[in-house]
Amino acid sequence: MRVGVFICHCGNNIAGTVDVAKVAEAARMMPGVAFATTYMYTCSEPGQEEIKEAIKREKLDRVVVAACSPRMHELTFRRTVEKAGLNRYFFEMANIREHCSWVGEDKELNTNKAIETIKLAVEKAKQNKSLVASRFKINKRVLVIGGGVAGMQAALDCADGGLDVVLVEKSPSVGGMMARLDKTFPTVDCSICILGPKMVDVSQHEKINLYAYSEIEDIKGYVGNYQIKIRKKATYVDWSKC
């Protein structure tokens, strides 16, 4: 196993409160790490080229980038390692910006935390397996749990987008906390004046199946293909006669 660790300065965002040179030195001592270096902006094109060249030159089979949030550049780096011939899932990202350098001003503490964060990412990378992306059909129905103003708006947005929606509310009626308020902040508008039309829209929308006075009893399956068991509480009312 040959793991490469690339530590980003992120300008002064990381290097300002983390000793990146010390982090790189510590990374080189971690089991399985064959190469560790720092770079000013790893997400830049030259930074990505550096990663690709190091993968080939050092014969790396796992890559860890210690930088910002995976939300920003994880896909970028997965594509980078893939271009260098590695499976994209042999890549791991250690967030040492939001989780370390931006958290505190103590450089020593931030540095030590960055080292531990990278150590975890290295161990994770070593356990990763080669994966292949696959496509499968999904059930294009949406479950919204909670019929407050947020739940109703979410249900309406999805339904207006053409999706079938199941809206589950544990109370006898939708509306939630907002239905109990007289006015709303900051416009001091009448609550029911805003909420009323939404409640009508939800109850009459052809794409929304409303389960009031109901609760989720069981959830099985996986993303795109969940199986939900809903328990409708007894109302002792024959709704067909209402």
Domain that holds residue 230: 141-241
Where among 66, 93, 127 does a domain terminate?
A: 127
For residues 30 and 121, state if they share a domain. Answer: yes
Q: What is the pLDDT of residues 110-156, one digit of tens each?
A: 999 999 999 999 999 999 999 998 888 888 899 999 999 999 999 99
For residues 115 and 177, state if they share a domain. Answer: no
The strands making up 33-39's β-sheet, listed across from edge to edge, are: 33-39, 3-8, 62-67, 91-95
Q: What is the CATH number of the domain that holds 206?
A: 3.50.50.60
For residues 77 and 33, state if they share a domain. Answer: yes
pTM reported for the whole predicted model? 0.67
* Mean of the per-residue pLDDT values of the chain: 94
In a domain, 167, yes or no: yes
* 82-99 average pLDDT score: 97
Where among 78, 97, 127 does a domain terminate?
A: 127
In a domain, 105, yes or no: yes
For residues 8 and 118, state if they share a domain. Answer: yes
Looking at residue 179, what is its pLDDT?
A: 87
Looking at residue 239, what is its pLDDT?
A: 73
As a whole-number percent, the residues of the chain with pLDDT over 70 amount to 100
For residues 13 and 121, state if they share a domain. Answer: yes
In a domain, 64, yes or no: yes
Q: What is the pLDDT of residues 183-210, one digit of tens each?
A: 888 888 898 888 999 999 999 999 999 9
For residues 123 and 193, state if they share a domain. Answer: no
* 76-104 average pLDDT score: 97
Q: What is the pLDDT of residues 3-48, one digit of tens each?
A: 999 999 999 999 999 999 999 999 999 999 999 999 999 999 999 9
For residues 14 and 121, state if they share a domain. Answer: yes
Q: How far is CA 137 from the centre of its chain?
A: 22
For residues 7 and 123, state if they share a domain. Answer: yes
Looking at residue 222, what is its pLDDT?
A: 87
Please tell me the total count of domains within the chain: 2
* 73-93 average pLDDT score: 97
In a domain, 134, yes or no: no
In a domain, 132, yes or no: no
Angle between helices 149-160 and 191-204 (to 10 degrees): 40
Instruction: Give the span between the Cα atoms of 208 and 154, in whole angstroms.
Output: 11
Q: What is the CATH number of the domain that holds 65?
A: 3.40.50
Where among 79, 99, 127 does a domain terminate?
A: 127
- Judge residue 4's burial from the number of C-beta atoms within 10 Å of its C-beta, 0-12 exposed, 13-18 middle, 19 or more buried: buried
